[in-house]
């Protein structure tokens, strides 16, 4: 199918929101970013104190601000930052985040854990701010502020503050796509390249850059013609930066581990396998409705609900498929991401007897920034907005409490 030739200048979809002065919009988004980050921190502090009280632990600031946010996968990332890739299991984690922790520690002398927390905090603030700019550009102020609120207070949004890659990956993702939507393809290529060195799914952001670039050049999609390739010109090489970054890392893996795709071998060590998305969903649904779900039933229910949110977000975004090349590229990226997270269940126990078919989906939702904008755009009434935020805050407190207590792993 050939899409119509786009205008040379990118035009975001029309918004029903009142137009605001660009400088005033930036200021409002900045203020909202700080306010939401403060609210998120206050919620985390209160929940941490309550959990320590009920577990009869002595309330320590180090525990509230550091130990609670450096659990589970944080240990692996900190090991890589301190000692490098000493085992093939480490290759399940891409190199940029631990490398930045190492550089920050080298430059400041601060402990690695604190460096990771500072890196995550700074990345989260950048991610939330730029997401607001992107959403305001694409859909208007109303969708921007509500989308930012839903993102910052999502039930697993505390991972943005932990020693995890979520905040850095989101920051680089939205920086890349926002720069691309404004025609700054050099900056976009660099940011997406760095995102690909943070998480393996980052390479799929290149699709958005390609759609924006083709629209900017106004050459349509007749890629089988000589004129189309001539119309790309040498500036298109900037779109290859993510591919070059990922290829360089794969070569490094080959030299040091003997495998180009060492991280796929590492996934097996983490009991990850590959399964057709429809089979994963069917088995997850059967598991969820099993009468003997046991203590893991709430956990599996949360995973399934978070997957449904991804699906609803994608369906809500389909209405924008005709609005711009940028949105078409975004939806293709969204679909690729949805398929990947659905096709990688994990087995546990001897012989992988116990399965967690949608493992980590609640955390993976955080990377899918368009979902929050699409869902925010669909929430039209004030009552619906208030209810969505209230439910999200309540779920945030419950899930973070479980995480602090050591009973929630994502």
| Residue pLDDT, tens place only, 163-221 | 999 999 999 999 999 999 999 999 999 999 999 999 999 999 999 999 999 999 999 88
Q: Is residue 402 in some structural domain?
A: no
Q: Is residue 369 in some structural domain?
A: yes
Q: Across-strand partners of 346? A: 272, 356
pLDDT band at 293 (very low <50, low <70, confident <90, very high): low
Task: Render pLDDT for 299-338 as a digit per residue (tens, 0 to 9).
Answer: 899 999 999 999 999 999 999 999 899 999 999 999 999 9
Nearest alpha-carbon partner for 262 in 317, 307, 200, 336: 200
% the chain with pLDDT above 90: 71
pLDDT score for 5 = 39
Q: Is residue 48 in some structural domain?
A: no
pLDDT score for 292 = 64
Q: Is residue 308 in some structural domain?
A: yes
Instruction: List, in sequence order, the alpha helices (H) in 84-225.
Output: 96-108, 112-139, 141-152, 166-181, 185-196, 206-217
Contacts of 212 (CB under 8 A, 6+ apart): 10, 180, 181, 183, 185, 188, 325, 326, 329
Whether residue 344 has pLDDT greater than 90: no
Q: What is the pTM of this model?
A: 0.92
Quote the mean pLDDT of the chain. 89
Task: Render pLDDT for 33-55 as a digit per residue (tens, 0 to 9).
Answer: 999 999 999 999 999 999 887 77
Q: Is residue 227 in some structural domain?
A: no
Domain that holds residue 339: 273-378
| Residue 30 burial (C-beta neighbours within 10 Å; 0-12, 13-18, 19+) | middle
* Across 112-137, average pLDDT: 97
Whether residue 56 has pLDDT greater than 80: no
Task: Render pLDDT for 363-388 as a digit per residue (tens, 0 to 9).
Answer: 999 999 999 999 999 998 999 999 99
Q: Domains in the chain: how many in total?
A: 1
Whether residue 15 has pLDDT greater than 70: no
Q: Is residue 373 in some structural domain?
A: yes
Q: Is residue 284 in some structural domain?
A: yes
State how far the Cα of 183 lies from the Cα of 166, in Å rounded to an integer.
Answer: 26
Q: Is residue 347 in some structural domain?
A: yes
State how far the Cα of 302 lies from the Cα of 402, in Å rounded to an integer.
Answer: 12
């Amino acid at each position: 199918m050939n899409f119509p030739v786009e205008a040379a200048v990118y035009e975001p979809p029309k918004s029903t929101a009142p137009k605001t002065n660009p400088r005033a919009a930036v200021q409002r988004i900045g203020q909202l970013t700080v306010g939401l980050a403060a609210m998120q921190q206050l919620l985390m502090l209160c929940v941490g104190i309550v959990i320590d009280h009920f577990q009869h632990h002595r309330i320590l600031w180090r525990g509230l601000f550091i130990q609670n946010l450096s659990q589970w996968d944080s240990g692996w990332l900190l090991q890589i930052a301190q000692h490098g890739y000493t085992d093939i299991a480490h290759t399940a984690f891409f190199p940029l985040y631990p490398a930045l922790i190492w550089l920050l520690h080298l430059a400041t002398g601060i402990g690695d854990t604190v460096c990771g927390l500072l890196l995550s905090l700074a990345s989260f603030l950048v991610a939330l701010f730029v997401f607001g700019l992107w959403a305001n550009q694409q859909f208007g102020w109303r969708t921007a502020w509500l989308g930012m609120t839903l993102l910052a207070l999502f039930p697993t949004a505390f991972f943005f503050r932990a020693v995890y890659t979520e905040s850095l990956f989101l920051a680089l993702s939205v920086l890349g796509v926002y720069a691309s939507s404004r025609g700054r393809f050099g900056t976009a290529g660099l940011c997406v390249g760095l995102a690909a060195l943070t998480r393996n799914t980052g390479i799929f952001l290149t699709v958005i850059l390609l759609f924006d670039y083709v629209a900017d050049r106004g050459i349509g999609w007749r890629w089988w013609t000589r004129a189309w390739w001539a119309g790309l010109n040498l500036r298109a090489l900037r779109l290859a930066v993510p591919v070059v970054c990922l290829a360089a890392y794969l070569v490094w893996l080959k030299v040091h581990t003997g495998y180009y795709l060492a991280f796929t071998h590492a996934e097996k060590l983490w009991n990850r396998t590959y399964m057709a998305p429809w089979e994963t969903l069917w088995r997850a649904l059967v598991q969820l409705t099993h009468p003997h779900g046991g203590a893991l039933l709430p956990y599996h229910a949360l995973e399934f609900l978070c997957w449904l949110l991804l699906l609803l977000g994608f369906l809500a975004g389909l209405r924008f498929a005709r609005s711009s090349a940028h949105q078409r590229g975004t939806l293709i990226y969204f679909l690729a991401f949805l398929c990947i997270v659905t096709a990688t269940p994990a087995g546990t126990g001897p012989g992988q007897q116990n399965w967690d078919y949608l493992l980590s989906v609640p955390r993976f939702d955080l990377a899918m920034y368009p979902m929050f904008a699409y869902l925010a755009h669909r929430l039209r009434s004030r009552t619906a907005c208030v209810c969505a935020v209230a439910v999200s805050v309540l779920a945030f407190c419950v899930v973070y409490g479980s995480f602090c207590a050591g009973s929630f792993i994502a």
